[in-house]
């Protein structure tokens, strides 16, 4: 560098600074949007996992409980504690749980009195062959919180077609079919072979 020569360093112009800030803002906005989308995707995945686990536990409980359904004569030996309609099922089965033990009268139904139409399970301790719970007073355990549909089919020993009703009688149906719908999502159909010779022992 020669003595006396002044070197001028050129800085950024105002326009260049504004352009740089605009580009930086766009990059920051894109990063925030990407992080938000990722968080929403994670929440959706977690909700899906919770719903899937809830479905698995519900179906597992129903399968285990119904497979243990027992034939308990009532009303002078003319009926047993098993009966149902298209959207309701009542049965007796043993239950070993911290909150309830022994034989329980169970009822699976859609709560039509609730605006959300949840799928509920009710349990009442079995007292004797002629005891009939007042289901309006029995606590409801919500299995599906809203928009639930329940379709149950019954098939006897010599029936070719599924029936929508099973009247209380001494015999349990040979096969039981349960379809549960949550909103527009159909859960896996469950078909169970019931042990018609199963009887409670006291």
62-96 pLDDT per residue, tens: 998 888 887 776 655 556 678 889 999 999 888 76
Cα gap 41→35, rounded to integer Å: 10
The answer as to whether 80 is a domain residue is yes
CA 180 to chain CA centroid, Å, is 8
The answer as to whether 59 is a domain residue is yes
The pLDDT of residue 179 is: 92
Residue 186 confidence (pLDDT) above 80: yes
Measured CA to CA in angstroms, residue 163 lies from 18, 43, 146, 168, 178 at distances of 75, 41, 26, 14, 12
- The residue segments making up the domain with residue 81 are 55-193
The answer as to whether 168 is a domain residue is yes
Cα gap 97→18, rounded to integer Å: 69
CA 76 to chain CA centroid, Å, is 37
The answer as to whether 26 is a domain residue is no
User: Cα-flanking dihedrals φ and ψ of residue 24, to 5°?
Assistant: -60, -40
Count the domains in the chain. Answer: 1
The answer as to whether 81 is a domain residue is yes
The answer as to whether 48 is a domain residue is no
Cα gap 154→174, rounded to integer Å: 8
Cα gap 119→144, rounded to integer Å: 5
* pLDDT interval class at 202 (50, 70, 90): very low
Q: Do the strands 82-85 and 185-186 form a parallel or antiparallel pair, or are they unpaired? A: unpaired
Residue 124 confidence (pLDDT) above 50: yes
The answer as to whether 19 is a domain residue is no
Cα gap 43→35, rounded to integer Å: 12
Residue 201 confidence (pLDDT) above 50: no
User: How wide is the angle at C-alpha 188 spanned by C-alphas 185 and 194, nearest 5°?
Assistant: 140
The answer as to whether 150 is a domain residue is yes
């Amino acid at each position: 560098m020669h003595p006396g020569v002044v070197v001028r360093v050129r800085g950024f112009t105002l326009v260049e600074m504004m352009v740089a800030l605009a580009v930086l803002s766009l990059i920051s906005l894109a990063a925030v949007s990407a992080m938000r989308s990722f968080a929403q995707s994670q929440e959706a995945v977690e909700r899906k996992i919770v719903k899937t686990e809830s479905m698995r536990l519900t179906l597992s409980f129903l399968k285990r409980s119904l497979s243990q359904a027992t034939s308990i004569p009532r009303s002078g030996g003319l009926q047993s504690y098993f009966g149902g309609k298209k959207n309701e099922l009542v049965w007796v089965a043993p239950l070993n749980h911290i909150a309830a033990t022994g034989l329980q009268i169970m009822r699976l139904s859609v709560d039509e009195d609730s605006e959300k139409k949840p799928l509920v399970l009710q349990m009442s301790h079995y007292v004797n062959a002629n005891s009939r719970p007042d289901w309006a007073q029995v606590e409801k355990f919500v299995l599906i919180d809203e928009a639930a549909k329940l379709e149950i089919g019954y098939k006897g020993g010599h029936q070719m077609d599924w029936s929508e009703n099973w009247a209380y009688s001494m015999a349990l149906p040979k096969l039981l079919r349960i379809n549960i719908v949550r909103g527009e999502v159909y859960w896996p159909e469950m078909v169970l072979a019931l042990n018609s010779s199963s009887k409670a022992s006291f």
